[in-house]
Amino acid sequence: MSVFASAAQRTEEQVKPDPDWWRGAVIYQIYPRSYQDSNGDGIGDLAGIRQRLPYIAGLGADAIWISPFFPSPMKDFGYDVTDYRGVDPMFGSVEDFRVLVDDAHHLGLKVMIDLVMSHTSDQHPWFTESRSNRENHKADWYVWADAKPDGSPPNNWLSIFGGSAWEGDSNRLQYYMHNFLTSQPDLNFHNPDVQNELLDMVRFWLELGVDGFRLDTINFYFHSQTLKDNPPLPPEQRNAKTAPAVNPYNYQDHLYDKSQPENIEFLKRFRAVLDEFPAAAAVGEVGDSQRDMEILAEYTRGDDRIHMCYAFDFLAPDPLTAEKVREVAEKFEVGAPDGWSCWAFSNHDVVRHASRWGAFERDPERYLAVIAGILFTLRGSVSIYQGEELGLPEADISYEDLQDPYGIRFWPKFKGRDGARTPMVWSSNLPNGGFTTGKPWLPVPDIHRAMAVNTQQGRDGSIFEFYRDFLEFRRANPALIKGDISFVDTPDDVVAYIRDDGETKILCAFNLGHGPAEFGTGLKLTRLDAPLDGQAGEDGVVKLKALGGYIGRVG
């Protein structure tokens, strides 16, 4: 059965929606500025995404996640919203979005959109009113606080984008809180009117037909009203999971500026809205370097909170090792036994994993294939970032071409996020890789054009064909989608686990080492037709080539 045939069959879900579709789903993330430009202005748009939906369905994805396309001054490229119910004209219109949803559903694809609810743009009408004086109707819609007696900020809280998390305002003679840019003031979730307005917005998009949401910075919604200083972190406890190592943000234990207990009740209200619709779901981004798994467990526990979350364990700079795969997955299983994770190796905020984990220092296609095998067989849902299926490395962007304020602030130690946001490459034979007929908003590297879709489709051994083949194989084996997981002891550099859905048990084994490896299982194994080259003998001994894998049915 072809991938396109399976996608067509999934249209039946439009008649009988599956409320559990998200569990084990493969979600393809689209950064709309960089996916496909339809009008030659150098910026991707909704019409361009519509044009490429058959490609995504053919790859074998179950859903798309579209990064923000709301009206915005674009100081943080859409993560600074001025209208939660609109579409920025550079991307199209609400009607364009409605048609996109219809087309996606016709192809069997769910549509998830990125909701940025922790903060807005400082140009949002709400903030314009809020900052005008201390008595207006929206005076308490944002986080305001008086200065210390010496005029300095209310406390020591820091912004992820550098400097204090507080900015003085001359109208109110107060400070407002911003966890990110100074132009991104934080909403005050302690105000029920703010919550109500945001939940009404959620209904707006659900009524337009979206199937779910990716919730940006889900643990940043509430702050502690005590405004206590965050304590320092000892140097040995600092890590770069949430912010780059050069950022002083890592010097604090963020006990009071985020991840507050009040968030649980809001998430229950949010889930109640989603439950008004037949099969709506959401995935939350948890950014907390010290308590990420604890928070993930709290937020996904039971059936009245968020459906699934992801943390930064596999998005951090640390190399991917067999030991780390087991450690992270088992930590989640222990901390959130009834929760569900969404695993990702790359997204629009981090260095592409082909470069971050040194794929090009090894055999790149084998390395990227074996780690994709791990991603596609762990218990949880999967998020693929556009271009990952081509094995794209991080682009090297010159300072003169930088757009990202984060990179401009911390250059050259941290070059920002633009290297992961360059345009998608469709054709090696067309200008700008077929992304646009105009000047692209970020340059298209020559190394990316050489790896374009047209160079990989139909070519044996290409990363694209591995992704497509493996996702078709995954769909044919339900234990890999919703089954439980238990790990098997293995030699160094090898990670192995059994996926079990109660009917079928499947052993998955992967060798991240530079040499061959083997280990005994004591199991009767029958090799399945995954695009991997490992073998198992009648004695249950699994033999793996360097950067190889094996998947077999148990029993």
Q: Which residues are catalytic?
A: 216, 276
**Distance of alpha carbon 271 from alpha carbon 280, whole angstroms:** 9
Q: Find out whether 65 and 49 touch, Cβ atoms under 8 Å.
A: no
Between CA 262 and CA 272, with CA 268 as vertex, the angle to 5 degrees is 150
State in Å, rounded, how far the first CA of the chain is from the last one. 26
Three-state secondary structure call for residue 484: strand
Which whole-number Å values give the CA distances from 223 to 199, 219, 229, in the listed order? 19, 10, 12
Beta strands 505-511 and 494-500 are antiparallel
Which whole-number Å values give the CA distances from 236 to 43, 249, 257, 513, in the listed order? 43, 15, 22, 28
Beta strands 166-169 and 144-145 are unpaired
Three-state secondary structure call for residue 506: strand
- The neighbouring-strand residues paired with 168 are 175
Helix ranges restricted to H, 401-511: 405-410, 446-449, 453-456, 463-475, 479-482
Q: What are phi and psi of 48, to 5 degrees?
A: -65, -40
Q: Find out whether 107 and 115 touch, Cβ atoms under 8 Å.
A: no
Which whole-number Å values give the CA distances from 387 to 29, 390, 449, 542, in the listed order? 10, 5, 11, 32
Q: Find out whether 536 and 552 touch, Cβ atoms under 8 Å.
A: yes
Three-state secondary structure call for residue 468: helix
Q: Residue type at 345?
A: F
Which whole-number Å values give the CA distances from 122 to 16, 134, 196, 357, in the listed order? 42, 16, 20, 37
Which whole-number Å values give the CA distances from 453 to 153, 212, 404, 421, in the listed order? 51, 28, 26, 17
- The neighbouring-strand residues paired with 227 are none
Contacts (Cβ under 8 Å, ≥6 apart) of 256 = 155, 157, 223, 224, 226, 227, 228, 229, 230
**Distance of alpha carbon 325 from alpha carbon 323, whole angstroms:** 6
**CA torsion sign, 11 to 14 to 18 to 21?**
positive
Q: What is the DSSP string of 347-375?
A: -TTS--HHHHTTGGGS-HHHHHHHHHHHH
**Distance of alpha carbon 205 from alpha carbon 305, whole angstroms:** 19
**Distance of alpha carbon 305 from alpha carbon 265, whole angstroms:** 8
Beta strands 308-310 and 281-285 are parallel
